């Protein structure tokens, strides 16, 4: 169920309507589970872009108010994303994944964090999925608003289809384990 929620979140962004039936030129590939349970970017060896739940303790500040954190490593000159890791604060947050007794809607939070994973920042538009605030019980972030669509279409403009031969391997190769 949780894998499907995150796959749906990536599809939400990939299927944004940029106009004339065109979509952002992005695709996401699930390479399966990994062993490493920390966010990291290895400059000299393989990597994995991970989504992880921090069940035991939240390793960052704001444990009582932070729902999730996505760390993106990128080239400051070109904007090329080298690595992205998403952490969810399951140690302090009661995520829910259906429409019964919604507390912190995982589908909404996954959609927001996936926007960060793809390189988007927070929006000042209070209706946008990328707005910085979340109200417990809300499910409205499961869809994209005009501001979200404009952002993803600007960052990943429509173009030729991505070839099926495109290699989804992370920068410097895929590595399931943590760096030594």
Compute the half-sphere exposure of residue 15: CA atoms within 13 Å on the CB side of its CA: 9
Decide: 158 and 22 in contact? Cβ < 8 Å. Answer: yes
* Residue 70, C-beta contacts closer than 8 angstroms, at least 6 positions apart: 84, 85, 86, 87, 113, 116, 117
173: phi > 0 → left, psi -120 to 50 → alpha, else beta; which? left
Residue 175 is among the residues annotated as catalytic for this protein = no
Catalytic residue among 40, 80, 87, 113: 113
| 85/62 Cα distance (integer angstroms) | 18
Q: Which active-site residues does the annotation give?
A: 113
């Amino acid at each position: 169920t949780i894998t499907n929620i995150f796959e749906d979140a990536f599809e939400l962004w990939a299927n944004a309507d940029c106009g004339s039936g065109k979509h952002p030129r992005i695709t996401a590939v699930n390479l399966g589970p990994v062993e490493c349970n920390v966010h990291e970017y290895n400059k000299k060896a393989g990597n994995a872009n991970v989504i992880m739940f921090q069940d035991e303790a939240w390793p960052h500040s704001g444990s009582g108010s932070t729902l999730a954190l996505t760390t993106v490593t990128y080239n400051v000159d070109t904007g090329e994303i080298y690595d992205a890791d998403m952490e969810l604060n399951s140690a302090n947050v009661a995520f829910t994944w259906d429409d019964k007794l919604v507390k912190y809607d995982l589908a909404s939070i996954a959609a927001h964090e996936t926007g960060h994973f793809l390189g988007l920042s927070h929006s000042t538009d209070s209706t946008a999925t990328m707005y910085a605030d979340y109200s417990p019980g809300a499910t409205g972030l499961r869809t994209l608003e005009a501001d979200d669509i404009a952002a993803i279409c600007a960052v990943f403009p429509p173009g030729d289809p991505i070839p099926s031969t495109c290699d989804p391997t992370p920068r410097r190769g895929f590595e399931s384990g943590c760096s030594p």
